[in-house]
Amino acid sequence: MTAQRTSSDAIDRQATTDVRETGTEAPPATSTGTTTGAEAPPLRVGPIAVWPPVVLAPMAGITNAPFRRLCRQFGAGASPPGDGASTAPAARGGLFVSEMITARGLAERNGKTLRLARFADDEPVRSIQLYGTDPHAMGEAVRFLAGEERADHVDLNFGCPVAKVTRKGGGAALPARRALFRDVVRAAVRGAAGVPVTVKLRIGIDERITTYLDAGRIAEDEGAAAVALHARTAAQHYSGGADWRAVAALRAAVTSVPVLGNGDIWQASDARRMMDETGCHGVVVGRGCLGRPWLFGDLARAFAGRAVPPAPVLEEVVEVLRRHTHLLAEWLTEPVAVRDVRKHVGWYLHGYPVGPEVRRRLTAAATLAALDAELDRLAAAHPTMAIVPGADARPRGKSSGPIAVTLPDGWLAAADDPSPDVADDLDAVSGG
């Protein structure tokens, strides 16, 4: 097979048809395929109807415009017409959230922050995640986004467990300071002037200090449009299993806005199972789509009650990796894209027994042409190689933890003190 140096239009046309679909009919169910019951209703995030009821988890360093586009195209390409279209703007194929952006950077119009906060011209719903600990900066940031019509949805990060962030009271540390948490959410909702604001939580600091039920109720009171829970504590980091029972408990505690469940959705059937088991209104999918943007097509099929096809063969995987690389090159420039795609190579090839030398050559390629040539070679060598049975259901990506969570001095003693006695961060980098 020869390399296709496609323009972005041609890439778009390819991407709207799932690699595994040959026509408009669903392929027959196979041993890995599932037909999973009735069609799910759209998820409502303020005025935005999201169908399928699925959100791409914000992931720093991953969910930039090229990755969002790939995921969206798979999701929208597999969505039956009509769903979620009754309320504008409709997020078709799912809701695709940006990388984490610092509120202070936006409030100060920092050049690097503004570049990170860019959306592509064709993004139908511009969804941005903000991080911050200072209500004033948060309010300013959201007012700026809403006032300049730069976003259609704002998500607030209260789940990041990394020391650089929690040490300053941010991410998963903030809900432990209930009054400050309330002020940050309030400032965002007020600044948003009708743009829906959602919050993303963890269960708490650790199993003794859980914060999510209070935080969920506070966010609901303050006008958040939905509440999402990564069902781990910060101390768990990414270890252990997500405790979906906490999603069910949040669903029972928060009654007037949608509750979204997050954690350990590796394949489409997991998403439906989480909704069935917890009663949540939608799901947030992170590591499960790393190297597998077609998961959004699978999710659209599963939520329509249609069969989910087996994982693509290697030749098809290679074409998606190629498309991803070219989109990155258009967005970030070729040298940056060739470096950035290296972290994705292992995820795309996860479960395909191609050997370490192939991975090494792909990650050593220094130009787009060299990478294309390696991809050609790989696809030609094993076009029909299938994934090892069960590999697409297994965890991928980060699994580190547990960790000792670092908090500012006296943080837990001042739960009802609203003053942000730590400096808001400009350079926070989330690890979720």
Ligand X SMILES: Cc1cc2nc3c(=O)[nH]c(=O)nc-3n(C[C@H](O)[C@H](O)[C@H](O)COP(=O)(O)O)c2cc1C
Pick the piece of the chain touching ligand X (CB under 6 A) from 132-140, 261-269, 312-320, 409-417: 261-269
- 83 versus 264: smaller Cβ distance to ligand X: 264
- For residue 405, the one-letter residue type is V
7/226 Cα distance (integer angstroms): 37
Contact between 84 and ligand X by CB under 6 A: the answer reads: no
Residue 198 vs 379, nearer CB to ligand X: 198
Contact status, residue 338 vs residue 284, Cβ threshold 8 Å: no
C-alpha to C-alpha distance for 254 and 240, rounded to whole angstroms: 26
Q: Confirm whether 289 is a catalytic residue.
A: no
Residues in the chain: 432
User: By C-beta, is 93 or 159 nearer to ligand X?
Assistant: 159
Q: How far is the CB of 188 from ligand X (least distance, A)?
A: 15
Judged by CB under 6 A, the stretch of 59-67, 217-225, 374-382, 405-413 that binds ligand X is: 59-67
What are the residues facing 50 on neighbouring strands? 43, 91
Per CB under 6 A, the list member of 127, 129, 133, 325 interacting with ligand X is 129
The C-alpha atoms of residue 98 and residue 184 are separated, in whole angstroms, by: 20
Q: Which residues contact 101 (CB under 8 A, 6 or more apart)?
A: 113, 116, 117, 128, 129, 130, 131
Residue 90 or 128: the one with the smaller Cβ distance to ligand X is 128
Quote the least distance from Cβ 295 to ligand X, whole Å. 10
- Residues numbered 186 to 225 that lie near ligand X (CB under 6 A) are 200
HSE-up (13 A, CA, CB side) for residue 45 = 33
Kindly tell me which residue out of 49, 55, 60, 184 binds ligand X, with binding defined by CB under 6 A.
60
Segment near ligand X (CB under 6 A); pick from 70-78, 136-144, 256-264, 349-357: 256-264
Find tokens 């394949």 and name the residue.
267
* DSSP of 339-350: HHTHHHHHHHHT
| Residue 153 backbone phi and psi in degrees, to 5 | -155, 135
- 159 belongs to the binding site for ligand X (CB under 6 A): yes
Query: Applying CB under 6 A, does 265 fall inside the site for ligand X?
Result: yes
The answer to the question of residue 432 lying near ligand X (CB under 6 A) is yes
- Which amino acid type is present at position 235? A
CA distance to 208, 243, 432, per residue, from 248 (Å) = 19, 10, 21
Stretch that binds ligand X, among 1-9, 11-19, 53-61, 299-307 (CB under 6 A): 53-61
CA 322, CA 371: separation in Å to the nearest integer? 8
Indicate the angle between helix axes 65-77 and 8-15, nearest 10 degrees: 40
Catalytic residue chosen out of the listed positions 71, 160, 280, 289:
160
User: How far from the centroid of its chain's Cα atoms is residue 391's Cα?
Assistant: 21
- Which listed range, 112-120, 152-160, 376-384, 415-423, lies at the site for ligand X (CB under 6 A)? 152-160
C-alpha to C-alpha distance for 109 and 111, rounded to whole angstroms: 6
Q: Could you say which residues in the range 61-80 bind ligand X, by CB under 6 A?
A: 62
- What x/- string results for residues 275 through 314 when contact with ligand X is judged by CB under 6 A? ----------xxxx--------------------------
- Closest to 97 in 3D by CA, of 139, 135, 50, 40: 50
Q: Which of 55, 95, 100, 317 binds ligand X (CB under 6 A)?
A: 100
Q: Which of 43, 48, 57, 259 binds ligand X (CB under 6 A)?
A: 57
CA distance 138 to 383: 50
Closest distance of CB 98 from ligand X, Å: 9
- Site stretch for ligand X (CB under 6 A), options 19-27, 88-96, 157-165, 376-384: 157-165
Q: Identify whether the C-beta of residue 284 lies closer than 8 Å to the C-beta of residue 200.
A: yes
264 in contact with ligand X (CB under 6 A): yes
Write down the least CB distance from residue 198 to ligand X, Å: 11
Q: Which two tokens stand for residue 73?
A: 């195209």
Catalytic residues: 160
Residues that bind ligand X (CB under 6 A): 57-60, 62, 99-100, 129, 157, 159-160, 200, 230, 262-265, 285-288, 397-398, 430-432
